[in-house]
Amino acid sequence: MRPKFFLTLIGSTLLLLVGMALAPSQQATAKSGEINLYSYRQPFLIKPILDEFTKKTGIKVNVVYARKGMLERIKAEGKAGPADAVLTVDIGRLHDMVKANVLEPIKSAKLDKNIPSHLRHPDGLWYGLTTRARILFVSNERVKKGEITSYEDLANPKLKGRVCIRSGKHVYNISLFASIIAHTGKEGAKKWLNGLKSNLARRPQGNDRAQAKAIYQGQCDVAVANTYYFAKMAKNKKKPVQKKWAQAIRIVFPNQDDRGTHVNISGAAVVKGASNKANAVKLIEFLSGSFAQKIYADQNFEYPVKVGVPINPFVQSWGTFKADRVNLNAVAENRAAASRLVDEVRFNQAGGGS
């Protein structure tokens, strides 16, 4: 009986930790008609959108803001759980929910009209709401214009000791690596990843802003990051030093002469067994509409998915770019393989110039 007791104890402890990670002070309710939304998106961004939705429809939205562990909580709560919908970032997190069979397929003519087919699940299990491009930050001083134009260039020996990147296991990079697999196959991606590893100036570390800081400090000349981080640094009034980081770099949209730049999404889905499915669909439709899309564009410097919604002027100043239109569901299917490649080449164990 003793082993069984300890397994039960461990399981209970894990569930408790998951609950703590999801801010237990925020209680989701199951009142008729109200929507219970589990969200990875920050309050400052979605509160004005949800307030407007309630004003327009009369439907209240109860939100649990998660830091991590959303899928684990949904699985632990089971089919009778309170969640009606989820709002998250990165195709990987949505794909994990698909694989865990916790999402409900939906059909909506409005969503099909607002969201391009390559940015939604083919069976309606999730819908992309905004896009962000995984681009290159390059030094204004040490990288000539036209010197680096593609992801493939990151593996070119000419960049030996000049590249910075965050952990290869981070969801943003896993999705990028998965897109490389989608285009070149596993062996091609492995060769590229080894080349990138050989060019690293330091061990993979930090977040996307830390890569810009490293370029500013002269530790490296090129880094991989999401588009909106450049805007957040350039417009940061609370931390002026980040403006200096942004001033030291410029943006390169990779692969404009061939497949285009890898893009990822923020997205939403309905949870299987949702007690208020119809209203949850109405909420996702609202999130794909012009009002919500413009707030995403202006507050978080993301690209709206709905055609006709204006891009933030500062983001627009970077110019237009060709996006990789490979279906994100195909990218998501390669995530597990990408993660294995990171381990195989010992990517995160790379030292400077190794």
> pLDDT digit of tens for each residue in the chain (354 aa)?
444 433 443 443 333 334 434 443 344 444 568 999 999 988 888 999 999 999 999 999 999 998 789 999 999 998 888 999 999 989 999 999 999 999 999 999 999 999 999 899 999 999 999 999 999 999 999 999 999 999 999 999 999 999 999 999 999 999 999 999 999 999 999 999 999 999 999 999 999 999 999 999 999 999 999 999 999 999 999 999 999 999 999 999 999 999 999 999 999 999 999 999 999 999 999 999 999 999 999 999 999 999 999 999 999 999 999 999 998 888 999 999 999 999 999 999 976 544
pLDDT computed for residue 235 by the predictor: 95
What letter does residue 299 receive in the DSSP assignment? H
pLDDT computed for residue 18 by the predictor: 40
Q: Do 132-262+332-349 and 11-131+265-312 have the same topology in CATH?
A: yes
Whether residue 291 contacts residue 299, with contact meaning beta carbons closer than 8 Å, is answered with: no
Domain boundaries, given as residue ranges, for the chain: 11-131+265-312, 132-262+332-349
State whether residue 154 is helix, strand or coil: helix
Helix axes 43-57, 277-287, angle to 10 degrees: 120
Q: How far apart are CA 267 and CA 280, in angstroms?
A: 13
pLDDT computed for residue 112 by the predictor: 96
Q: How far apart are CA 21 and CA 291, in angstroms?
A: 31
Q: How far apart are CA 24 and CA 30, in angstroms?
A: 16
Q: How far apart are CA 79 and CA 277, in angstroms?
A: 13
Whether residue 178 contacts residue 197, with contact meaning beta carbons closer than 8 Å, is answered with: no
* Topology of the domain comprising 132-262+332-349: D-Maltodextrin-Binding Protein; domain 2 (3.40.190)
pLDDT computed for residue 177 by the predictor: 98
State whether residue 230 is helix, strand or coil: helix
Instruction: Give the pair of three-digit tokens for residue 296.
Output: 């995403």
Q: How far apart are CA 155 and CA 123, in angstroms?
A: 36
Other C-beta atoms closer than 10 Å to the C-beta of 169 total 15
φ and ψ at residue 116, rounded to 5 degrees? -55, 150
Q: How far apart are CA 299 and CA 44, in angstroms?
A: 9
Q: Token match 């609202």: residue?
A: 286
**Does the domain formed by 11-131+265-312 have CATH 3.30.40.10?**
no
pLDDT computed for residue 68 by the predictor: 84
